[in-house]
Amino acid sequence: MGVLTVEVPNKTYDVVIEQNVYERLQTDYAPLLKRADRVGIIADEFVYETYGDTLVEIVQSVQANVSVYEVPKGESCKTLAVYGDIQSFLLKEGLTRNSILLAFGGGAVGDLTGFVAATYMRGIPFIQLPTTILAHDSAVGGKTAINLPEGKNMVGAFHQPEAVLFDLNVFKSLPAREWRSGMAELIKHAYISDAAWTEQLLAEPKFAQPAFETLESELLRGVRVKADIVREDTFEHGARKFLNFGHTFGHAVEAATHFGELSHGECVMIGMGYALVLSETLGSIDEGEAARFIQFAKAQGYSFDPIFDHSFDHFLSYMQKDKKASFGELYFVILETIGTPRVVNVDVATCEQTFQTLQTIVKG
């Protein structure tokens, strides 16, 4: 069993990673469910098909009034249309400001449900029940959002969950792509925090599909990195920006590929390659670090095809809409050294040169 407490201003909650964790809804979190007049479950339709009956049975043993809304998997659920439909559904089902929501799915479902919870009747509580490895990052910290066609996570709010409960049993059925996606965020946490941990992960021949018995400890380590940063900077004014390592260009890749051709983590992996090229130019990391990372990523099955399918200007149009952009200027998280991140302003000419260098390295 792995338990870690997240502390932010005016809020403390636990992240629990273990097998059969949903049983805690009948014990540790039963008082929370009993205080609610209704429970709403926003569920990934594919996850719900396999595990939904078990979850509903557990919840109904505590709180009989349960309403379920199924959404498409992945980023396709994070739209204004789906968001509006859920709000209407909750009203029709009789949920009030005394109700509670459960987010049952991957990171996208968590983002969506969190934003619904933040805004329904000006805010109701919710619990994260993440079903992907990737969500060890997104489920912690209270950032919630939906996408617009022009960019990722452009409409959202900070709204902390009451708890984050990971059931390791669910991960056993994840396809290889979901493992790759989640492990990308894990190595991101290593790069921004710990050089020795980074080396350990880069040396792991089965990085993208690690031994199941190691998963709990590795995920807990990643969550601890995020929890420490979120405690220091809840609203992303300073150190929390470091968690965006690989995300400025990665989000542009996601938008350019219509939020679905590659998973979020796969896009972030491309973004980290880009950020490491920048780090060699603007930081002090060793020359060749970007090439080493890209070779590692390719060997683990990560694709860099999008950087050849779209022009730099196409990616630039999305980066300029990124939330981290300010007054038309672009900001990136780079590494001064491995484990030591910082945020830098980068001009367009340098961004384009970095893109070209990335293409050259990937071609090998």
pTM as predicted:
0.91
Question: Which helix (H) or strand (E) element contains residue 44?
Answer: strand 39-44
Which residues does 201 contact at the CB level (< 8 Å), separation at least 6?
186, 187, 190, 207
Question: Which helix (H) or strand (E) element contains residue 334?
Answer: strand 330-337
Domain 2-171 in CATH 3.40.50.880:
no
Rounded CA-CA distance 200/181 in Å is: 19
Give the residue extent of every domain in the chain.
2-171, 176-363
Rounded CA-CA distance 98/82 in Å is: 23
The per-residue pLDDT string of the chain (364 residues; one tens digit each, 9 = 90 and over) reads 689 999 999 899 999 999 999 999 999 999 999 999 999 999 999 999 999 999 999 999 999 999 999 999 999 999 999 999 999 999 999 999 999 999 999 999 999 999 999 999 999 999 999 999 999 899 999 999 999 988 889 999 999 999 999 999 999 889 999 999 999 999 999 999 999 999 999 999 999 999 888 889 999 999 999 999 999 888 888 899 999 999 999 999 999 998 888 999 999 999 999 999 999 999 999 999 999 999 999 999 999 999 999 999 999 999 998 877 766 689 999 999 999 999 999 999 999 999 999 999 999 8
| Torsion sign, CA atoms 16, 21, 27, 30 | positive
Give the CATH fold of the 176-363 domain. Answer: Dehydroquinate synthase-like, alpha domain (1.20.1090)
Closest listed residue to residue 72, CA positions, set 233, 308, 260: 260
Long-range contact list for 82-85, CB < 8 A, 24+ apart?
82/112, 82/146, 83/112, 83/115, 83/116, 83/146
